[in-house]
Amino acid sequence: THAQNNLVFNVDAAKTTISKQIYGHFAEHLGHCIYGGFYVGEGNTKIPNTNGVRNDVIDALKKLKIANLRWPGGCFADTYHWKDGIGPKNKRPGMVNAWWGGVTEDNSFGTHDFLNMCELIGTEPYLAGNVGSGTVQDLTDWVQYVNFNGKSPMSDLRQQNGREKPWHVTYWGVGNEAWGCGGNMTPEHYADVYRQYATFMTGWSNETKIFRIASGANSKDYNWTEVLMKKIPLNMLGGLALHHYSVIEWRKKGPAVDFSEQQYFETMQSALFMDSLVTKHSAIMDKYDPEKRVALVVDEWGGWYDVEPGTNPGFLYQQNTMRDAMIAGATLNIFHNHSDRVRMANLAQTINVLQAVLLTNEEKMILTPTYHVMEMYNVHQDAKLVPLTIKCNNYVVGNEKLPAISASASKDSTGAMHISLVNIDAKAAQDISITLEGGNYKTVGGRILTSAKLQDHNTFEQPAKIKPAPFQGAALKGKTLSVKMPPFSVVVLELK
C-alpha cells in the first residue's frame, strides 16, 4: 500500500489556449530524415510516393495532425543555400553535409519540394534561415521568393520554377543555435545580427504577417535569454527559441534500447528538467515582456541516445521505446501547463533521427511509441488549459526521486474535457484520485499506451507491439474520478 496521488482540476478556470503549434515537428537534412525518410525520389517505383514524398509518411503525419514542420535544420540550416535547391533537379549543384556524416547530397529536395509537401500533409512550414554562413540578401530573397504576391525578381523566378501563387510561410527562424553550430556568437553579437536580419525580412509578405523566431538558449543558458530580451525590440520578435534534449551525459548517452532502470531514471530527470527550464526562461521574459507577446518556442526537444550499433554515428539513428513514450507524455504536459508562454515546440526529429515518430526501412514504415503518444494527445490542440494542483507519490531509485505522476488537462470547443496522465514509475502501479472543480461530466472513456517491458519497442518485424488500447481503469462518481495506472504508462481520458 502506498500514499494516494491527489489531483484537483479547476474546470471552470480554463482560459489559456494550448496552441496547437506545440505539436510541431522537425525535419533536418540529417541521416535518413529527408532522403530515405520523407523523400524517396520521383522516379521511385518500389515505394508509393507523391512527387517523391512517401505516401505512407504523408498519411501517418496527417493522422498525427502535426501543426508545423521545421526545415532544413538544425545545424544544417546555417550551411544551406536555398538557391541551390530550386529549378530543374538535374542542374542543381551538390553540396557536402558538413555537420552530419560528411555525405554529399544532390539538393533534389529543396524549397518547392518541402513547401508542396507541407501542403500535402496539411501542416504549416517553419523555415529556418541561414544566418551563420548566409547573407541578409539571401534570407530576404527567400522570403520574397516564397511569400511575395506581386511582381518581383524572386516571385518571377518562383513562377518560372512552376509555382504561381506564394506559399504564405508564417514561421521563420533567424539562424539556429547561434551560440554553437550557427556561428559561435555571443548573445550580444547575435542580438545585433538578429535585428539586422529581422529588419530586411519584412515587406515581402503582403498577405502573410511573418513570425520571426530568434535562435534561443542552449538549455539552462539563462543569460542568453536575458541579453536577447533586453536588446531586441519586442515588435521585432515573434518567438524566442530554446533547445533542450533529454540526455544522460553528452559523452555517455547510453543505448536507446538496452538501458538500465538507472539510465531510464536519469533520462527522465533530464526530461522533467524542462519544467524548471521553461519556468525560469519565462520568468526572464516576463521582466521585459509582461504581456507575454513573445512566444517561447522549444524548437528542439526529445531523447538523445547512442546511435544503433553498426549505423553511421553522424546519422543519429536510434530506436524508440516506452521510455520515449514517457518523455513525450511528460514533456507535452509541461508545455500544456506553461501554454501562456510556450506557444510552439518541435520534437527532434520526425523520421529516422533521434526521438522519431516514424522509422522507415526501404518500403516499410513503422509508428513509434512516441507517435502514439502524440496522436493520443492531439485532442489538446487549441483547447483551453484546465489549471491543476497535484500531490503525488515519488518514484525512487537509489537516493533520488522524481514525481511519479505527470498530468495536464484541457476543455475543447465542444465542452469535452481531456486529461493526460503519465505514470513515470517503472515499478509501481499508481492509484490516482482526481477532484473536478466545476464542469458537469457524466461519462469517462480513454486510451492507454503501455507494454510488458520499459525497453519494448516496435520493429519492422513486429510493427504493432506497442499501440494504444482502450482504457478500463477509470471510474467517475460525481465530481471524483478514480484512475488506476500500471507502471510506465500513458493514459488520455475523455470526459463528457
Q: Annotated catalytic sites, by residue?
A: 177, 300
Comparing CB distances to ligand AHR, the nearer of 78 and 494 is: 78
Binding-site member from 300, 324, 375, 425 for ligand AHR (CB under 6 A): 300
Stretch that binds ligand AHR, among 48-56, 70-78, 108-116, 195-203 (CB under 6 A): 70-78
Binding-site member from 73, 125, 303, 369 for ligand AHR (CB under 6 A): 73
Comparing CB distances to ligand AHR, the nearer of 21 and 176 is: 176
In angstroms, give the least distance from the CB of 25 to ligand AHR. Answer: 12
Comparing CB distances to ligand AHR, the nearer of 28 and 275 is: 28
Residue 177 lies near ligand AHR (rule: CB under 6 A): yes
Stretch that binds ligand AHR, among 73-81, 190-198, 326-334, 463-471 (CB under 6 A): 73-81
Tell me the site size for ligand AHR, rule CB under 6 A. Answer: 10
Residue 299 lies near ligand AHR (rule: CB under 6 A): no
Comparing CB distances to ligand AHR, the nearer of 357 and 449 is: 357
Comparing CB distances to ligand AHR, the nearer of 274 and 424 is: 274
Comparing CB distances to ligand AHR, the nearer of 167 and 172 is: 172
Q: What part of residues 16-55 is at the interface with ligand AHR (CB under 6 A)?
A: 28
In angstroms, give the least distance from the CB of 296 to ligand AHR. Answer: 17
Binding-site member from 37, 52, 72, 74 for ligand AHR (CB under 6 A): 74
In angstroms, give the least distance from the CB of 142 to ligand AHR. Answer: 19
| Contacts with ligand AHR, 205-244, as mask; x by CB under 6 A | ----------------------------------------
Q: What part of residues 313-372 is at the interface with ligand AHR (CB under 6 A)?
A: 348-349, 354
In angstroms, give the least distance from the CB of 304 to ligand AHR. Answer: 8
Comparing CB distances to ligand AHR, the nearer of 28 and 375 is: 28
Q: Which residue in this structure is represented by grid cell 526529445? A: 302
**196-202: long-range contacts (C-beta < 8 A, 24 or more apart)?**
196/136, 197/129, 197/131, 197/136, 197/139, 198/174, 198/232, 198/236, 198/237, 199/236, 200/136, 200/137, 200/139, 200/140, 201/129, 201/139, 201/140, 201/143, 201/172, 201/174
Q: Which residue in this structure is represented by grid cell 480554463? A: 14
In angstroms, give the least distance from the CB of 389 to ligand AHR. Answer: 35
Residue 85 lies near ligand AHR (rule: CB under 6 A): no
| Contacts with ligand AHR, 246-285, as mask; x by CB under 6 A | ----------------------------------------
Residue 402 lies near ligand AHR (rule: CB under 6 A): no
In angstroms, give the least distance from the CB of 433 to ligand AHR. Answer: 40
Binding-site member from 18, 57, 75, 241 for ligand AHR (CB under 6 A): 75
Comparing CB distances to ligand AHR, the nearer of 347 and 409 is: 347
In degrees, to the nearest 5, what angle opens at C-alpha 206 toward C-alphas 201 and 211? 45
Comparing CB distances to ligand AHR, the nearer of 358 and 386 is: 358
Stretch that binds ligand AHR, among 67-75, 111-119, 222-230, 281-289 (CB under 6 A): 67-75
Residue 425 lies near ligand AHR (rule: CB under 6 A): no
Write out the chain in H/E/C secondary structure: CCCCEEEEEEHHHCCCECCHHHCEEECCCCCCCCECCCECCCCCCCCCEECCEEHHHHHHHHHHCCCEEEECCCHHHHHCCHHHHCCCHHHCCCEECCCCCCCEECCCCCHHHHHHHHHHHCCEEEEEECCCCCCHHHHHHHHHHHHCCCCCHHHHHHHHCCCCCCCCCCEEEECCCCCCCCCCCCHHHHHHHHHHHHHHHCCCCCCCCCEEEEEEEECCCHHHHHHHHHHCCHHHCCEEEEEEEECCCCCCCCCCCCCCHHHHHHHHHHHHHHHHHHHHHHHHHHHHCCCCCCEEEEEEEEECCCCCCCCCHHHCCCCCEHHHHHHHHHHHHHHHHCCCCEEEEEEECCECCCCCCEEEECCEEEECHHHHHHHHHHHHCCCEECCEEEECCEEEECCEEEECEEEEEEECCCCCEEEEEEECCCCCCEEEEEEEECCCCCCEEEEEECCCCCCCECCCCCCCCCCCEECCCEEEECCEEEEEECCCEEEEEEEC
- Please give the C-alpha separations between residue 409 and each of 13, 405, 455, 492, in angstroms, as whole numbers: 12, 13, 28, 9
In angstroms, give the least distance from the CB of 218 to ligand AHR. Answer: 8
C-alpha span between 435 and 423 (Å, rounded): 18
Stretch that binds ligand AHR, among 68-76, 225-233, 289-297, 431-439 (CB under 6 A): 68-76
| Contacts with ligand AHR, 372-391, as mask; x by CB under 6 A | --------------------
**CB of 330 closer than 8 Å to CB of 374:** no
In angstroms, give the least distance from the CB of 368 to ligand AHR. Answer: 16
Residues that bind ligand AHR (CB under 6 A): 28, 73-75, 176-177, 300, 348-349, 354
